[in-house]
Structure 1
Amino acid sequence: MADDNNAPVFQIQRVYLKDLSLEQPNSPQILLEQAQPQVDINLNLAAQPVADGVYEVSVTATVTTKVNDKTLFLVEAKQAGIFEIRNIPDEQLQPIIGIACPQIVYPYLRAIVSDVCTRAGFPPVVLAEVNFQAMYEAQQQQQAAGGANLN
């Protein structure tokens, strides 16, 4: 079977949980509080080459829940994937890494965060759907506006 060495390749090599942390620094006293908790959610994306044509893309969620300015619980989870991406034009490579790969990894992250909250004895925190294309385009516009001193 002949293999075309120049054919575009996009394959998921592995999706895995890279890091997970749960903290309840004020337990058990804070568990007696009756106030409604305030939930703050932050997402971060990262990508790095692992080998020639192989990239690790990760999405990290940090969920901080507070009651009266005291931390009820803090969950930080980093879900990652290893992707083989070859023979893709440079102008298409960054959108694949910044949009397609996080879209594959993110549902796993959502499930992990929800599960950890439940196992910690709290109602599940369900991360909202994310439009990674809109995030990527906004980031590109920011970089273009910041402009000249970028390499």
Structure 2
Amino acid sequence: MADINEDGAQPNLTVLIQYVKDLSFENPGAPRSLGPRRQAPNINIGINVSANPLDEEDFEIELRLEGRATDGDQVLFVAELLYAGVFRITNVPKENLPPLLMIECPRLLFPFARQILADLTRNGGFPPLLIDPVDFTALYRQRLMEFAQTQPSGRPS
């Protein structure tokens, strides 16, 4: 059963819209980079989440996915996606907003962004880059710890 806040209203999270904000694919070594390989390329994945308030109830969540494949010093491809969504959040206490924005909202966006990135690399001539599911809770906790270490008191303000 959903928690009810002091006013008797249930918390609500609504996805208003999802969209590609920026998309890039670089294949600098083509056509040579598309040939058979003796070994699997080294693939690095980067994931970042940011939240931007639009008004009291609406927030834009940006999910940035970056994939880079290399074979030694040769860059095979660089794929970058900035996927965003606008979420309306009502009847949620302010202290509960950060984890909702940085964990639950990107969790809802991730499957769509993952598919776009997989299609992008496949359309670039490579096997689809399928990113494993992401633990956004762990990313959020890591970000909190990093933030706490940069504060003079050792605690976030």
User: Shared fold (TM-score greater than 0.5)?
Assistant: yes
Q: Which residue of 1 aligns with 2:43?
A: 39
Specify every segment of 5 or more residues in structure 2 that has no aligned partner in the other structure, as ranges.
1-6
Q: Which residue of 2 aligns with 1:72?
A: 76
Q: Distance in 1 between matches of 2:87 and 2:8?
A: 18
Q: Distance in 2 between matches of 1:104 and 1:51?
A: 21
Q: Displacement, 1:12?
A: 0.7
Q: Which residue of 2 aligns with 1:24?
A: 27
How many positions carry a matched residue from both structures? Answer: 148
Q: Distance in 1 between matches of 2:26 and 2:146?
A: 34
Aligned 8 A contact 1:48 1:56 in 2? yes
Aligned pair partner of 1:113 in 105, 117, 122:
117
Q: Displacement, 1:136?
A: 1.1
What SS does structure 2 have at the residue aligned with 1:130? coil
Q: Displacement, 1:148?
A: 3.6
- Distance change (3 Å), C-alpha of 1:51 and 1:31: same
AA in 2 matched with 1:31 = L
What SS does structure 1 have at the residue aligned with 2:54? strand
Cα RMSD (Å) of the superposition? 2.0
Q: Which residue of 2 aligns with 1:53?
A: 57
Q: How does 1:92-111 map to 2 (within 5 A)?
A: 92-111=96-115
Q: Distance in 1 between matches of 2:141 and 2:32?
A: 44
Q: Distance in 1 between matches of 2:91 and 2:84?
A: 22
Aligned pair partner of 2:17 in 14, 17, 20:
14
In the alignment, structure 1 residue 86 sits paired with structure 2 residue 128: no
Q: Displacement, 1:6?
A: 5.6
The alignment's TM-score, normalised by the length of structure 2, stands at 0.84
Alpha-carbon deviations, 1:12-70, whole Å to 9, x = none? 10111211111111212333463432111111111101223110001111111112211
Specify every segment of 5 or more residues in structure 1 that has no aligned partner in the other structure, as ranges.
none
Q: Displacement, 1:143?
A: 2.3
What SS does structure 2 have at the residue aligned with 1:96? helix
